[in-house]
Amino acid sequence: MDSWLMFDVPTSHRSRMAKRLVRDFNLQRVPIGRLDGTTVVLQSQQGAEHLKEVLEHCNADPLLCRLINAGALCSHLIRGSFQQAVDKLKELIVQSHAKSIRIHSCPKKLDALIAGALGDCSFEFSPTSFSHCAFIAEIDSNLLLIGVDTRYFSFRVPEDCHIPVSKAYFKLLDAFERTEVGNQFLNEIGPKSWCVDLGASPGGWTEYLSSKRALVISVDPGSLNDSLSSRINVVHVRMTAEDALNECKRLIQESDFNRPGFLCSDMNVSSSKVLNLIEMYSFWIPSGTRLILTIKFHRIRDAESHRSEELAKALETLSKHWIINATEWLLFNTLHERTVFGTKK
């Protein structure tokens, strides 16, 4: 029997979340027409059991559980009117012997219409206390997905999940552990490597980098979280990135390193300013040093074409000193950010 996996995600993440799930779990994305901007529908050639595994994995994943609002399996594709879909949904609810029902629809405005169309039923409607959840998604004018299940995955961060000093931590975790080039870089971090974190405060990237036992030089006139200040492999240089250049150079040259270093920055400044800073450091940074850099388009808030144009200019500037290995739109990037991976020439 065919099954479909439906995820409710923030509008800003719909496209990249779909691409990530298709890539990581070998799924196929179902083209959608009238669905609202928060829904992703997927299928698997391996069947319903595979989709259940994907749903459970996403619910437990420390990154995905923070970005997916809810997920559900749908068992029927109805080609017909909205009323036909509701009639079939009612039949499934009766067959499931449900006592109470939560309705989850896409678009959301269908909730009230469904409740009214179901009419007098032997079950109650409740958004919080329910035995089953009824799902319905309007894919197009005459195409709807429906399903009834005892499980409703309303994604929450597990209680035992690590809580970092800032959300920026997840951006770097995503960069290193969920991208192909990042995985290559990750293998190079260790006790004999160094990392310069420009604009480190409050310390999200420093926390991640120092957990890999590298020496982390955290550059920021602001404070680091107290939990980081006590780490023996974290050196806090309380200066601006411009003023800290010579101190960073001294710390690296006086230490015994036999692995490539890392120049990292997630500074909340314009792309032109961060590119100027990277160029300043590029004149003495050793060949082979890795770069992980967030490009932020502060003054570009409209068309994607404008962001693409600005990114192309940034990559051209960086390519004077760096080989560009990849550019990613990470799950934890905002709409106006891209992450660049590079290697010093």
pLDDT digits (tens, 9 = 90+) for 198-225: 999 999 999 999 999 999 999 999 999 9
Rg (CA), the chain: 24
Last residue of a domain, one of 103, 131, 154: 154
Query: Do 249 and 338 lie in a common domain?
Result: yes
Task: Indicate whether 160 belongs to any domain.
Answer: no
Please tell me the predicted confidence (pLDDT) of residue 301.
Answer: 57
Task: Indicate whether 182 belongs to any domain.
Answer: yes
Task: Indicate whether 310 belongs to any domain.
Answer: yes
What confidence tens digit (pLDDT) does each residue in 272-309 have? 999 999 999 999 999 999 999 999 987 655 567 778 88
- Residue 305 burial (10 A CB sphere; 0-12, 13-18, 19+): exposed
Pick from 202, 216, 191: nearest CA to 292: 216
Query: Do 201 and 336 lie in a common domain?
Result: yes
The residue segments making up the domain with residue 309 are: 168-344
Specify the higher pLDDT residue, 90 or 196.
Answer: 196
Please tell me the predicted confidence (pLDDT) of residue 153.
Answer: 64
Please state the φ and ψ torsions of residue 103, each to the nearest 5 degrees.
-100, 130
What confidence tens digit (pLDDT) does each residue in 132-152 have? 888 888 777 777 888 887 766
Query: DSSP readout, 283-311?
Result: TTSPTT-EEEEEEE-TT--S-HHHHHHHH
Pick from 174, 157, 153, 161: nearest CA to 56: 153
Task: Indicate whether 315 belongs to any domain.
Answer: yes
- Kindly tell me if the per-residue pLDDT of 90 is higher than 60: yes
Query: Do 179 and 318 lie in a common domain?
Result: yes
At 267, which CATH number?
A: 3.40.50.150
Task: Indicate whether 206 belongs to any domain.
Answer: yes
Count of domains observed in the chain: 2
User: Token pair 């219409």 is at which residue?
Assistant: 113
Please tell me the predicted confidence (pLDDT) of residue 328.
Answer: 96
**Average pLDDT score over residue span 26-54:** 82
Please tell me the predicted confidence (pLDDT) of residue 70.
Answer: 81
238 contacts 220 by C-beta, under 8 angstroms:
yes
pTM: 0.86
- Kindly tell me if the per-residue pLDDT of 257 is higher than 80: no
Please tell me the predicted confidence (pLDDT) of residue 287.
Answer: 94
Task: Indicate whether 281 belongs to any domain.
Answer: yes
Across all residues in the chain, what is the average pLDDT? 88
Please tell me the predicted confidence (pLDDT) of residue 340.
Answer: 98
Query: Do 331 and 182 lie in a common domain?
Result: yes
| Amino acid sitting at position 197 | D
Specify the higher pLDDT residue, 142 or 90.
Answer: 90
User: Token pair 């200066």 is at which residue?
Assistant: 239
Query: Do 143 and 172 lie in a common domain?
Result: no
Query: Do 22 and 111 lie in a common domain?
Result: yes
Return d(Cα 335, Cα 345) in angstroms, integer.
30
Query: Do 261 and 305 lie in a common domain?
Result: yes
User: Token pair 């595979």 is at which residue?
Assistant: 50
Q: Which of 62-66, 81-85, 302-306, 316-320 has the highest mean pLDDT?
A: 316-320
Pick from 302, 185, 194: nearest CA to 254: 194
271 contacts 316 by C-beta, under 8 angstroms:
no
- Kindly tell me if the per-residue pLDDT of 104 is higher than 90: no
Query: Do 187 and 332 lie in a common domain?
Result: yes
What confidence tens digit (pLDDT) does each residue in 117-137 have? 776 677 788 777 888 888 888
Query: Do 19 and 131 lie in a common domain?
Result: yes
Specify the higher pLDDT residue, 71 or 261.
Answer: 261
**Average pLDDT score over residue span 254-266:** 87
**Angle, nearest 10°, between helix axes 48-60 and 14-25?**
120
At 63, which CATH number?
A: 3.30.2130
- Kindly tell me if the per-residue pLDDT of 18 is higher than 80: yes
Please state the φ and ψ torsions of residue 203, each to the nearest 5 degrees.
125, 20
Residue 36 pLDDT level (bands cut at 50, 70, 90)? low
Q: CA 162, 168, 171, 173 torsion: positive or negative? A: negative
Please tell me the predicted confidence (pLDDT) of residue 223.
Answer: 95
Query: Do 125 and 50 lie in a common domain?
Result: yes
Please tell me the predicted confidence (pLDDT) of residue 170.
Answer: 95
Last residue of a domain, one of 113, 131, 154: 154
195 contacts 214 by C-beta, under 8 angstroms:
yes
- Residue 199 burial (10 A CB sphere; 0-12, 13-18, 19+): buried
